[in-house]
Amino acid sequence: MVELYHFWSSVCSVRCRMALEEKGVVWTSRYVDLFNFDQMKPEYLAINPDGLVPTLVHNGQPIHESTIIDEYIDAAFDGPPLVPSDPLLAARMREFIRKCEDNFGGIVKLTAVKYLLPKLRNRWSDEELAAQALRRPLKFYQDIHGRALRGEIGENELAEARAEIDTILSTLEKLLDPGPWVIGEAYTLADITVAPYMFRLAAMGAEQFWSRSHNPRVNAWYERISQRPAFQVAVSWPDETGGGYEEVGLGKKLAGAPGR
């Protein structure tokens, strides 16, 4: 049995849904509503003490951290390989994944200020949000969400975050020569890792990050990956209202679907 505990717009959840779909794995959705702070409920912390999504549970065993989950999915299930068989290409793939994880930190700040906080304030008072931030198991997220709530992440810091993002997109632009994918001819976990970041940036206005004239290879790559059925399924889950879902355990599952 394959279960994915996830939230619809979580970057890390999207990449795991992409990997599952690319491999053709039938999975059960366990929807964790981050806007309701489901990730800090005792029953979820029992399977992920860090209070983060996603968590993959396969035959009762939880696996954490989205990039590790994706490698597990590729190794554990039949389907098209997502890690190159050539050791050098596999190393290049992992190098890029590491760069993404190290250099896309700015997107957390942009998300907290421009995306997450406005939605949370539709549900909770600032006093309630401050209390919830303190409950987060990891200090990094306590600090980010607390500072965003107090208005301490200003425009200068957001500008630095955008500059960090532009640096990794410049790296991606170079890697995509000749393309068509991040690691040349092979479509790999490198593409799956970065695609959800790009989807989030597109939601915040892609033109400030890439276009046909600015990072044109990135622009063409995003158009290609956006056409992949796995990407379209992974990003098309309903919004935080849960419309079209039925309750399953802790969360929700798409009504009428087997969990894919």
Please state at what angle helix 189-203 crosses helix 66-76, rounded to 10 degrees: 140
pLDDT in tens, 70-100: 999 999 999 999 999 999 999 999 999 999 9
DSSP 25: -
Structural contact between residues 18 and 24, judged by C-beta atoms closer than 8 angstroms = no
Q: Which amino acid is at 113?
A: V
Query: What percentage of the chain carries pLDDT values higher than 90?
Result: 61
Q: Residue count of the chain, please give it.
A: 260
The pTM of the full predicted model, rounded to 2 decimals, is: 0.86
| 247, burial (CB in 10 Å: exposed 0-12, middle 13-18, buried 19+) | exposed
> Which two tokens mark 184?
């040349």
pLDDT in tens, 224-250: 999 999 999 999 866 544 333 333 333
Write down all domains in the chain, each with its CATH number in brackets. 2-81+234-254 (3.40.30.10), 87-226 (1.20.1050.10)
pLDDT in tens, 148-194: 999 999 999 999 988 889 999 999 999 999 999 999 999 999 999 99
Pairing of strands 28-31, 2-6: parallel
